[in-house]
Chain A
Amino acid sequence: MWSRRLAALLALLLALPSPALAAARLTVPEPDQHRVVVVYSGRAEDLDRELRLLDLLLGHFTGNSLFFPDDAVDAKDLAGSTHLVYFGYEEANLPQDTASLLAAYDKPFLAIGHNVEQLGRRFAFANPRGYGVITGVSLAGSPRSPVHELSAWIGFMEPTAGQVLLEGWDDEGNSYPLMVRSGDAFYLAISYMGSDAYDFIGYSLFDFFGEPRPAGHHAYIRLEDIHPASDPVLIKEIGDYLYSKGIPFTMIVIPVYTNPDTMQQIHLHERPRLVAVLRQLQSQGGSVVLHGYTHQYRASETGEGFEFWDVENNTPVYAPADEPFTLKGPEDFATAWQYERYMRGLRAFERDYTIERIKLGNKALLDLGLIPLAFEAPHYTMSQQGYSIVAQYYTHIFGQIQLTDRNWEYMSGSPYVSRPAFLHGLTLLPENIGYYDITSPTPLEDMIRNMERMRAIPGSMLGMFYHPYLGLEPLIPVIEHLETFPDLQWLDLTELVDPDLISIIHQASLNPLIALRIGVADFFRSVANSNRVQKTLWGVTAVTTLMVGTFVASTLANRAGMRRRLFQEEPLSHG
C-alpha cells in the first residue's frame, strides 16, 4: 500500500514540471467544480440521444449539467453556472428573451451547430456558410485521422479571428476549421454529436473548461462473461499472465449459467474450483464486476442473451420471461390516463425485476467472498430507469451506455471517464476498443485499428475486453501492441472503488438493519451539509421529535396507570 502511494507521489512529482504530460483523470471531481447549463434547440425525437452524448463528454468535467430547451430557460437558471453550452441541433429562431440572455452571458460559452448567428457579438467570428462533407479530422497541428463521412458547416470563419482547435478535411485535401475558440467563446461547426468526430470534440473540451490538456493513455482489460460453466484453467492461465506483467484486470462475472437446450441452471457455488480461481485472482488485484445475474432473458443462453432488455420487442423488460409480451400503444387505450397507468405498471415491473436481479447477483457473489466492485450491463443494454437503479448499488459502470429506451442499438462510450448527469452519479469506465471477435477474419487487426484511432485522442481511455475461453494465446499480441503506447497507465478498479465500502453498500441492500444504519449516517451527513436555516430547522425537528416522544411515553404511562387504578379501586368498592 505504502509503496503504491509512494509511486503515485513520485509520478505526481515527475509530472509536475510538464503538466501537458498529465494523463486525463480517472475520477470526476465531487462536488462539481464546474456547473454547466446546456440550452438546446430542436424537436426531433432523437434529440435526447444527442443530448446524452453531449452529457457523456461534459461528464468528464462535471456530473452536474442542467439541460433546458431554448424556450424554457431564464436568468435564474444561468445564475449559478460556470459554463454555458448552446446546442443548435436544428435551425430555429430563438425566443427573443433567450437570445438576449445567451448573448449577455459572460463566462465560457460553447456554441454547437445551428443558429450561432443569433448568439450575439461574441460569436461574430463564427460565420458558417453551408454544409460540406468531411472525411478526415485532426486536432490542430496533429496528423489527420480518417473518419466516416460527416457533414459539417464549412468555410465559416475569418482565418484570423480565432484559434482553431479541430480541423476537418475533405477528399481534395482542403481543411476547414471545425472547432474554433475566440477568447472564452467556442464554436463547434457540427450540429450533431453522433459522428466520428465525437472523441476529438471530447478532447477539445479541456480547453473549454480551462483544464490542462491530457497526454498519455489509460487502459483496461476485462475478462468477459465468466460464468459457472467457464473453464477455470483458462481463466487462471490468463489471470496469472496479466498478474505477472503487473496489469490490473477485471473479471466480469455472471453468477448463474443457463443451458439453452435444457434450461437447466448452474450456480457459481456449485463450481468450487472456479470460485477458488476467482478468489485467488481477486486477492492478486483482479477486480470482480457483476455482469447481471444470468445474462439471459427468456430462452437465450447465458452470455448470449440480454438480461435487462427485451430484445425481441426492443423494449425494456416489461413482463416475466415465461409470458409472451407485446407492447401496447396509446391507441390501444380509451384514455391517456389508462395508457399512463398501463405504462406505470410496466415500469414498476421492470424496476422490481432489475432490483431483484442485482440483489441476487450481489448476494451470489458476496456469499462466495467475491466483492463486485462495479456493474456491467449484459450487452451494455439497459433502460434509463435501469441505470438509475444500478446507481443505487454501484458507483462505476463498465462499457457503453444505451442512449434511449426506444432502441437498444444506440449506445456509446466516451473518450474519457465520465459521470454524466443522466447516469444519476454512476461513473462510466468506457470501452472504446472492442474485443477479440473470432467471427471477424481479422480480430487482432480490428482491435489494433481501434487502438490507433484512440491514439489520436490524447489522454483517452483504451478500454477493451477478452473472452477467456479463447485461451491465452490470442491475448498476447493485443497486450504487446498496447505496450507500444508510451505513458500507458492501467486502470486499477480497486483504486477507484473501496472494496470495504462497496461491500457494505451491497450488504446493506441485502440486510435492512445495515441499510438503516447507512441511511441514518447518510441523513446526518446531509444535515451537516445543509445551510444554516436548514440546520436550525433540523434542530427544531429534533427537539420536536424528542418532545413528541415524551408526550407519547407519558400518554402510555397514564393509560397503564389508569388501568392499575381501576383494578385497585374495584376491591375497595366492594368493601
Chain B
Amino acid sequence: MANTLFIASIAVIWVMLLYNMILTRGGYSHYRRYRQPIAGWKKSSRPLPKVSIMIPAHNEELVLERTLQAMVRQDYPRHKLEIIVINDNSSDRTGAIADAFATRYPFVKVVHLAERNAGRGKPGALNRGLPHATGDAVVVYDADNTPERRAVYYLALALVNSPGVGAVVGKFRVINARENFLTRFINVETICFQWMAQAGRHRLFGITTIPGTNFIIWRSLLDELGGWQEQALAEDTELSIRVYNAGYRIIFFPAAVTWEQEPETWPVWWRQRVRWARGNLNVVVKYLFRIPWLANKRIALDIIHLFAMYLLFFLSVTTSNVLFVGNLLFDWNLGVGEVATVLWVMAYALFISQAMLALSLEGAELNRDNFFIVLLMYFTYCQLWVPVVIYAMLAEIKRFFLRGEAAWYKTQRFTRRGRLRTHGPGIDGVPMRRPGA
C-alpha cells in the first residue's frame, strides 16, 4: 500500500517535472527568437493604437510619484497616449499627487472613487476607470511599477502587428531584489516564472496568462468580455481564460519591461501568496469540469496544469515526503531502491540547472550570490509552498461551507525608501517545484 502510494506520487511529481523541463526548453527557444520580428514590425505600416494606461491606486502616496514619472517619460507618441490614475478612495496624498501630474501633463487624467467597496479591490477599481478610457487599447500597471521607457511602445507594437491576439504581456523584474533574503528569493522565482512558465507556454502551446501588470489589451475586447470579474481573487487568470474563450490569444513579449517592488517581509508575502493560491484554487474548481465547453481548448491545458499543480502535485509531494520520512523512522520497506535517492538528487540538480539557465537570460543575474540563493531556496523558500497551499485550501473549504465573500486583501505597502506592490496572481505564481522523494 505504502509502496503503491509512493510510486504513484513519484509518478505525478515526475510528470510535472518533465512538463517543466519541456517548458524550460520552450522558454529558452522563445528567448532566442522573440526579438526577430521587431525589425519587421517597425517597418510595417500599421499605425500604433491610441493607448490608455490605467493605474489603480489605493493609498500609494509613497510610490505613485515615481511611477507617474516613469509613465510620463514613456517613449510613445503623446497624442496617442492617455494616463488614467484611478484613485481608489485613498486616505493619504495619493489623489493630490495624481492631480498635480494631471495639471502639469494634459494626457494624465485622475478618476477619484469616493468609496471603496470591501472585496472589490483592484478589479473593481479597473472597472470603474474603464469608462473614462478613450484609447483603442488599455495598458494596466500597478501603482508601484517603473516601466522602462519603451515598455508601452513594445506592448502596443506587438499587439497591433499580431492578428488574432487580444492581449500582450510584458516582462516584469524585481527592483528591490537586493533588499533581503526574501526579495532575493522572489527575484529568482520571478525570473524563472517568466522565462519558464510564461515564455515556455507561449512558445510551445501558445498560452500566456496575464500577470496583473504590464500588459496591453484591446479596448473592444474588454468591452466584449464585460471588464474584470470583481468576485475573483485571481481576476487576471480569470480574465485570461475569458480572453481565450472569446477566441483570442495572449502573447508574451519580454521586450516590454517593467520593474516592480516585491514584499520585503514574510507576513506580507504570506498573505499575498495565500490570496494567489486561493484564487488559483477557485479557478480550478470553477473551470475544471467546464473544460469540454471551453471554446478554446488551449487554455484547458493551463487549467489542467493548475489542477495538477494545486491538487495532484501538492498531494504527491506531501505523500512522498511523509512516506520518505516514515520510511526512515519505521522502515516500511519501500521497494523502489536506490533509484529513488538518485531521482531525488536529480530533482535538485534539475531545479538548479533550470534556475541558472533562467538567470543566465538576464545577464548579470547569473552570479555567485544567486547561485547560492538557488541552492538554498530549494530547501527553504520552495518548501513554504506546501503550507501556503494547505492554508489556502482550508480557507477555501471554510468559505465554501460558510458561504463567505471572497475578500480582496490589498498587499501592504512599506514606508522605506521605496515600497512595493506585487504582480497579481499568475498561473504559476508560486515557488516552482518540489523534490521527488
Contact call A530/B339, Cβ cutoff below 8 A: yes
Q: Which B residues are CB-close (under 8 A) to A547?
A: 21, 24-25, 350, 353
Q: Which B residues are CB-close (under 8 A) to A554?
A: 28, 357, 360
Q: Does A533 contact B (CB under 8 A)?
A: yes
Query: Which residue of the partner chain, among B10, B333, B360, contacts A537 with CB atoms under 8 Å?
Result: B10
Q: Which B residues are CB-close (under 8 A) to A548?
A: 346, 349-350, 353
Q: Which B residues are CB-close (under 8 A) to A533?
A: 7, 336
Q: Does A314 contact B (CB under 8 A)?
A: no
Q: Does B340 contact A (CB under 8 A)?
A: yes
Report B6-25 CB contacts with A as 1/0, cut-off 8 Å.
01001000100110010011
Q: Does A100 contact B (CB under 8 A)?
A: no
Q: Which B residues are CB-close (under 8 A) to A537?
A: 10, 14, 336, 339-340, 343
Report A527-567 CB contacts with B as 1/0, cut-off 8 Å.
00010011001101101110110111011001100100000
Q: A534-B336, A541-B339 are in contact. Are A555 and B14 (CB under 8 A)?
A: no
Measured in the bound complex, the distance between the Cα atoms of B358 and A552 in whole Å is 11
A-contacting residues, B313-344, CB 8 Å: 333, 336-337, 339-340, 342-343
Q: Does B361 contact A (CB under 8 A)?
A: yes
Contact call B360/A558, Cβ cutoff below 8 A: yes
Query: Which residue of the partner chain, among B10, B346, B363, B366, contacts A544 with CB atoms under 8 Å?
Result: B346
Contact call B360/A555, Cβ cutoff below 8 A: yes
For A549, give the chain B residue with the smallest CB separation. B353
Q: Does B354 contact A (CB under 8 A)?
A: yes
Contact call B354/A551, Cβ cutoff below 8 A: yes
Contact call A558/B361, Cβ cutoff below 8 A: yes
For A557, give the chain B residue with the smallest CB separation. B360
Q: Does B356 contact A (CB under 8 A)?
A: yes
B-contacting residues, A370-426, CB 8 Å: none
Query: Which residue of the partner chain, among A538, A540, A555, A562, contacts B357 with CB atoms under 8 Å?
Result: A555
Nearest Cβ in chain B — how far from A422, in angstroms?
22
Q: A533-B7, A537-B10, A541-B346 are in contact. Are A551 and B339 (CB under 8 A)?
A: no
Query: What is the number of residues of chain A that contact chain B, defined by CB distance less than 8 Å?
Result: 21
Contact call A551/B24, Cβ cutoff below 8 A: yes
For A540, give the chain B residue with the smallest CB separation. B14
A-contacting residues, B354-392, CB 8 Å: 354, 356-357, 359-361, 363, 366
Q: Which B residues are CB-close (under 8 A) to A545?
A: 346
Query: Which residue of the partner chain, among A76, A541, A544, A555, contacts B21 with CB atoms under 8 Å?
Result: A544
Measured in the bound complex, the distance between the Cα atoms of B348 and A545 in whole Å is 11
Contact call A543/B18, Cβ cutoff below 8 A: yes
For A76, give the chain B residue with the smallest CB separation. B333
Q: Which B residues are CB-close (under 8 A) to A540?
A: 14, 18, 343
For B28, give the chain A residue with the smallest CB separation. A554
Measured in the bound complex, the distance between the Cα atoms of B193 and A244 in whole Å is 81
Contact call A538/B339, Cβ cutoff below 8 A: yes
Query: Which residue of the partner chain, among A541, A550, A555, A559, contacts B342 with CB atoms under 8 Å?
Result: A541
Q: A537-B336, A548-B350 are in contact. Are A559 and B360 (CB under 8 A)?
A: yes
Contact call B363/A562, Cβ cutoff below 8 A: yes
Measured in the bound complex, the distance between the Cα atoms of B353 and A486 in whole Å is 70
Contact call A558/B343, Cβ cutoff below 8 A: no
Measured in the bound complex, the distance between the Cα atoms of B353 and A122 in whole Å is 63
Q: A537-B343, A545-B346 are in contact. Are A552 and B337 (CB under 8 A)?
A: no
For A527, give the chain B residue with the smallest CB separation. B339
Q: A540-B18, A554-B357, A554-B360 are in contact. Are A559 and B366 (CB under 8 A)?
A: yes
Measured in the bound complex, the distance between the Cα atoms of B366 and A555 in whole Å is 9
Q: Which B residues are CB-close (under 8 A) to A543?
A: 18, 21
Q: Chain B CB within 10 Å — which of A538, A547, A548 has the most?
A: A547
Q: Which B residues are CB-close (under 8 A) to A76?
A: 333
Q: Which A residues are CB-close (under 8 A) to B356?
A: 551-552, 555
Contact call B336/A555, Cβ cutoff below 8 A: no
B-contacting residues, A233-263, CB 8 Å: none
Q: Which A residues are CB-close (under 8 A) to B14?
A: 537, 540
For A551, give the chain B residue with the smallest CB separation. B353
Q: A543-B18, A550-B25, A562-B363 are in contact. Are A555 and B339 (CB under 8 A)?
A: no
Q: Which B residues are CB-close (under 8 A) to A530?
A: 337, 339
Q: Which A residues are CB-close (under 8 A) to B363?
A: 562
Q: Which A residues are CB-close (under 8 A) to B350?
A: 544, 547-548, 551
Q: Which A residues are CB-close (under 8 A) to B349?
A: 544, 548
Nearest Cβ in chain B — how far from A350, in angstroms?
27
Q: Which A residues are CB-close (under 8 A) to B18?
A: 540, 543
Q: Which A residues are CB-close (under 8 A) to B347?
A: 544
Q: Chain A CB within 10 Å — which of B340, B346, B347 has the most?
A: B346
Q: A534-B336, A540-B18, A543-B18 are in contact. Are A555 and B353 (CB under 8 A)?
A: yes
Nearest Cβ in chain A — how far from B255, in angstroms?
16
7 A-B residue pairs with Cβ-Cβ distance under 8 Å, sorted by A, are A537-B343, A541-B343, A543-B18, A544-B21, A544-B346, A547-B353, A551-B353
Q: Which 4 A-B pairs have the closest CB atoms?
A: A551-B353, A558-B360, A555-B360, A548-B353
Binding site for A on B (CB under 8 A): 7, 10, 14, 17-18, 21, 24-25, 28, 333, 336-337, 339-340, 342-343, 346-347, 349-350, 353-354, 356-357, 359-361, 363, 366
Given contacts A530-B339, A547-B353, A558-B366, 19 further A-B contacts (CB under 8 A): A76-B333, A537-B10, A537-B336, A537-B339, A540-B14, A541-B343, A541-B346, A544-B346, A544-B347, A544-B350, A547-B25, A548-B346, A550-B25, A551-B354, A551-B357, A552-B353, A555-B360, A559-B366, A562-B363
